Amino acid sequence: MPSRRQLLAGSGITLAGGVASGYAGRWPIPLDGAAKWPMARHDPACTGATNEPGPKSEPEIRWQAEAESNFDRAGPPMLVGDTLIATSDRSVVALDRQTGDRRYKRTGTYRMNPLLAQAEAYRSDVLVTGNQSGFVGLAASGGFSLGELTISHERWQTPAKPSGGWAFTAAGQASAVASDGTIYASVPNTNRLVAIDANSGRVEWTYRVGSEDYRGVNRPVIRDETVYATSTVNQVVALDAATGTRKWQVDIEPLQREDSLQYTVPNAPTVTAEGIVVPTERFVDLRSLDDGSRKWRYVHDGTSAKRSAAVADGTVILTDDEESLYGISLDSGERLWQSEYGPDTAPVVADGVVYLSYYWLPELHAFDATTGEPLWKIEIPNSPTQPIVDDGKLYLGTWEGILALGEQR
């Protein structure tokens, strides 16, 4: 019969062994290197732009991975170091960006564009996504796997429960951004904006836009410790990022039109040093960071209902859901160029090239960001997500797994 001392030692091993294996050794999936594309729209300002080059000429598919899974619903993959992380309808996978080889796969149903946030108390960042119950923080390293059992993968779950049905966010729409260890998110189907600590998952503050009857706050943006957001009640609000207290709030002025439909419902914004870019169904505004007043308005007469703009090199680039892609001067609001492109989607800009994919079309388009000139168009598998770009490559999720594209060799 073991003595108490022996049992005590055994118990100590149970506690310390698990901790030590996680701490003293390396995680099974090391995530070295900087987060290069940590959230759907690239950065907390949601510019959708990077200085890293993508494919300039018509690309080829370099690899296609996890082809048996659908990666079309939960947004584009994230890129940290040499690892791509993406959520499918039933799993989270991490892939080697060079080869597409799987680094880990964890099962779970997640319904929100994932994003990576710094978690300084932990040895790996947190991958934030969402499910029926609220926002979920996962170890970006994947935790430990013992056959089918996984431990230390899910770190926290917030009680920020969405209202309504099963779908957490629609395909391709992000609801959160992260900055300095805090996640700022709109809770889907509610009028709530929340700030969540990336380490602990605690809700730091909640701000309600409009009344409970109005459900629809778009994904916020962050700049200089201020959170900016738009809502379906035609408002733009600025909040102190630390406390959630309101700095200002403005109503979006309607178009001076005779018809009753004013088309002022805003989409998710982008923030720049010059102001907040607020796209709506029929026009795009630039609004002052100081008080929300309007600096300029460009009316495109489209019907864009869901998509945000990209901003790169002083140009606002957006689609109108009719037939055009626009380049608009960030400084003056004047149109710089207009190019033929029908779908309503969020552009991505990388080193002077605009990339566009649309959920309902198996195509990827590229345009020159300076002139709007079409560069190339290729066919890809069905239901593509928005692409992400880094180091000459372009990555995106589809109905048939994850794709990496590069210039033809």
Partner 1 sequence: MRREPGVGAESPVDHRTKPRHRLLSELRSQPQLFLPFLVAGLVTSLLGWLHRRDPIATVSSRTLADGHISLEYIGFPAGVRGTTLSVESVLGLKLPFLAWGISAYILLLAVHAIAGTVVIARVLGVEPTRRTVGSFFLYVACIDLIYRGFGSIQGFQNMPVVIGLPILVVWIYVSVRLFAVPGLIVTRESVTEAVQESWRLTQGYGWPLFGVILGLGLTNAVFALFSVVGPALSTALVGSVHAVYLGLFVDQFASPD
Between 156 and 341, CB nearer to partner 1: 156
Evaluate whether 405 touches 393 at the Cβ level (below 8 Å).
yes
Please report where in the chains the tokens 């790169």 appear, as a residue.
312
- Residues 6 or more apart from 207 whose CB is under 8 A from it? 192, 193, 194, 237, 239, 244, 246
18 touching partner 1, by CB under 8 A: yes
204 touching partner 1, by CB under 8 A: no
342 touching partner 1, by CB under 8 A: no
Residues 227-256 within binding reach of partner 1 (CB under 8 A): none
Binding-site member from 26, 202, 246, 257 for partner 1 (CB under 8 A):
202
Evaluate whether 92 touches 86 at the Cβ level (below 8 Å).
yes
150 touching partner 1, by CB under 8 A: yes
Residue 211 CB, shortest distance to partner 1, in Å, is: 24
121 touching partner 1, by CB under 8 A: yes
Residue 152 CB, shortest distance to partner 1, in Å, is: 4
Task: Using the Cα atoms of residue 361, residue 39, residue 273 and residue 288 in order, give the sign of their dihedral.
Answer: positive
Backbone torsions φ then ψ of 18, nearest 5 degrees: -65, -45
155 touching partner 1, by CB under 8 A: yes
Residues 158-177 within binding reach of partner 1 (CB under 8 A): 159
- Residues 6 or more apart from 303 whose CB is under 8 A from it? 263, 281, 282, 320, 321, 322, 344
Evaluate whether 117 touches 178 at the Cβ level (below 8 Å).
yes
122 touching partner 1, by CB under 8 A: yes
Residue 140 CB, shortest distance to partner 1, in Å, is: 10
Evaluate whether 76 touches 346 at the Cβ level (below 8 Å).
no
14 touching partner 1, by CB under 8 A: yes
Between 98 and 133, CB nearer to partner 1: 133
**How large is the C-alpha radius of gyration of the chain?**
22
Binding-site member from 31, 139, 396, 404 for partner 1 (CB under 8 A):
139
**For the CA atoms of 348, 49, 276, 224, what is the dihedral angle to 10 degrees?**
150
88 touching partner 1, by CB under 8 A: no
Residues in touch with partner 1 (CB under 8 A): 1-2, 4, 7-8, 11, 14-15, 18-19, 22-23, 27, 106-108, 119-124, 137, 139, 141, 143-144, 148-157, 159, 197, 199-202
